[in-house]
Chains A and B, each alone.
Chain A
Amino acid sequence: MSQIFILLEGDELSSAGAELAIFGSRAGSVTAVICSNNPEALVASAATLPVERVIVLTGIDFAKSSLRSVSSVLAELVKRDSPAALLVASSARGKEIAARVAVRTESGIVTDAIDVNAALEATQSIFGGSYTVSSRVTHGTSIVTMRSHCVEVTTTTSSPAVEYFDGAGYVDTQVTITSSEPAQKSARPSLAEASIVVSGGRGTDGKFELIEEFADLIGAAVGASRPVIDSGWYPHAYQVGQTGKTVSPQCYIACGISGAIQHKAGMQTAKTIIAINKDPEAPFFEIADFGIVGDLFTVLQSAIAALK
């Protein structure tokens, strides 16, 4: 049975990480490579997923060393074990780690896959969702970065073998990290992890209070379109679209966003799309499963009242 490597980072299991195990188990026996200063939680979580082995990296302070430390040691493990595939979450960091491993191990790479099958054929949704492409790596280990929210995670009980690997010799000395502020953990879910995203556009006139209140009531993340960011109405980290973040939630609720192709490029793989706009001709209505022509503030206010 082929070996499939997945990369798990951080202090706790993310939904993206759990999905890697599900995807990996379709194609073979999953080994989770764990990079964390507190690996216990991830090791315990791996036993709730279809994982047959974990490799815990030691000797690296992951908070203080650059991603090159992780890519170097991961490349070493890929060379040692020659897995059929390495699956990594499609974050900026995940893609960069995967890219470096691909160069080092002379392996092909596919990024931002939304699905991968038992034959390691990866599916991508490209050009703002206008094409679905299936492709396969033809050289070396199949390195695939996976978008989150693409597969349902069902937990199981496994008893993975635990191996430790000393990564001290692979610590990057080229880059010095002087400070690190993890993204604010608010009660609100992050754009990458949320299953519902409520986004505001030009139509909000910069007034996000109702969007935030509505998002909090339904456990959604808040996003924004580029004109909102450019006007300084909302922080850059929340921008969805071609030059911002790409999200793929269960449901995307666009409030006062016309639906330019650059914005749609960042959200078109959302399973359900809802648009609220006072302009009945707004392009967003063409792709919305449910559209409301009306004033977004009135609609949100009555939705909030209905929820309360």
Chain B
Amino acid sequence: MKIAVLIKQVPDSWAEKKMGSDGLLDRAGVDAVLNDNDEYAIETALQLVEARAAGDTVTAISMGPERTTDAIRKALSMGVDGAVHICDDALAGSDALATSKVLAAAISQGEFDLVLCGMEATDSRMGVIPAMVSERLDWPQLTFASEVVIQDSTIHITRSTESGVDRMNAQLPAVVSVVEKIFEPRYPSFKGIMAAKKKEIAMKSLSDLGLTPMDAWTKVLTSTPKPPKAAGVKIVDDGSGGEKLVAFLKERKLI
């Protein structure tokens, strides 16, 4: 089975993020890491091919500037076999629609049986790329999976969202996103880190994918840092803390 895992490099979620004057995230100013949620997708892919039948491969696909290589190397050091890195200056400022088009084009070049994704990137937090890629490829969408089982050419998942738990299946090829409770991602081993240095990262430009630059279909009008929240009332519990809590809720008409 040939699996593609879509990964993204994001600003470290511990870092303070700033917006640039162009209304876009200032990515240069913060440490960049592999999106946490994508590690669950990588782990799922690696477990699905654990037995390593002939022809089993896991390929990471990522779109981003040059330094995205660091996130890709992390995926490779976890055990992913190879990667496609779509890197083109014309892609700066891409919205989800453009990104999904690029990713779908890259997937179409690879004869994959399955596309795995994290449920959302921790920077934009849109959670729409898996659905958009599924729509563009016209492959079944099986998203927010907390369980994935493949039997022959049928993939079964358990979808876990705030609306409830659904069991569903579809024929491969399919687009699957996973939630974080699916598996605990492995740490790259020393051997894995060394091996990753020798693995191939195929660099692709927009024209390699047969695409031309796309405008974003949304425009940021203003972005304003939130004024620091004025410090509220802070009391030390002297036995009346609970009463004061209830009084505060009543005063604000919350209860």
Enumerate chain A interface residues (CB-CB to B < 8 A): 66-68, 71, 91-93, 95-100, 102-104, 106-112, 121, 125-127, 129-140, 174-183, 190-192, 195-196, 218-219, 236-237, 242-243, 245-246, 250-251, 261-262, 265, 272-274, 276, 280, 285-295, 298-307
A251 close to B181 (CB less than 8 A)? no
User: What are 24 A-to-B residue pairs whose CB atoms are below 8 Å?
Assistant: A95-B126, A96-B128, A100-B132, A103-B100, A111-B128, A134-B222, A134-B223, A139-B217, A175-B168, A178-B167, A180-B166, A181-B166, A236-B160, A243-B36, A261-B13, A273-B232, A285-B231, A285-B234, A289-B232, A290-B234, A298-B241, A303-B243, A303-B245, A306-B243
Query: Within the complex, which residue of A104, A265, A290, A302 is in contact with B242, where a contact is CB–CB below 8 Å?
Result: A302
Nearest chain B CB to A152 CB, angstrom units: 13
B141 close to A176 (CB less than 8 A)? no
Q: In whole angstroms, what is the CA distance A237 to B181 when docked?
A: 10
B252 close to A251 (CB less than 8 A)? yes
A304 close to B164 (CB less than 8 A)? no
Count B interface residues, CB 8 Å: 79
A131 close to B181 (CB less than 8 A)? no
B97 close to A272 (CB less than 8 A)? no
Is B21 an interface residue, CB under 8 A from the partner? no
A245 close to B162 (CB less than 8 A)? yes
B242 close to A300 (CB less than 8 A)? yes
Nearest chain B CB to A286 CB, angstrom units: 7
A243 close to B217 (CB less than 8 A)? no
Q: In whole angstroms, what is the CA distance A104 to B126 when docked?
A: 18
Is B131 an interface residue, CB under 8 A from the partner? yes
Main SS class of interface, B:
mixed
A103 close to B136 (CB less than 8 A)? yes
User: A180 — nearest CB in chain B belongs to which residue?
Assistant: B166
A243 close to B180 (CB less than 8 A)? yes
Enumerate chain B interface residues (CB-CB to A < 8 A): 13-14, 16-17, 19, 23, 36-37, 95-97, 100, 119, 122, 125-132, 134-136, 139-144, 160-171, 179-181, 215-226, 229, 231-237, 239-246, 248-249, 252, 254-255
**With known contacts A134-B221, A292-B244, A93–B237 Cβ distance under 8 A:** no
A177 close to B221 (CB less than 8 A)? no
Q: In whole angstroms, what is the CA distance A67 to B216 when docked?
A: 26
Q: In whole angstroms, what is the CA distance A257 to B119 when docked?
A: 25
User: A266 — nearest CB in chain B belongs to which residue?
Assistant: B125
B245 close to A299 (CB less than 8 A)? yes
Nearest chain B CB to A154 CB, angstrom units: 17
A291 close to B218 (CB less than 8 A)? no
A181 close to B217 (CB less than 8 A)? no
Q: In whole angstroms, what is the CA distance A300 to B243 when docked?
A: 9
B17 close to A242 (CB less than 8 A)? no
Query: Within the complex, which residue of B167, B215, B223 is in contact with A132, where a contact is CB–CB below 8 Å?
Result: B223
B242 close to A305 (CB less than 8 A)? yes
Query: Within the complex, which residue of B126, B135, B237 is in contact with A298, where a contact is CB–CB below 8 Å?
Result: B237
**Complex A-B, nearest 4 residue pairs according to Cβ-Cβ distance, in ascending order:** A294-B237, A302-B242, A108-B217, A303-B242
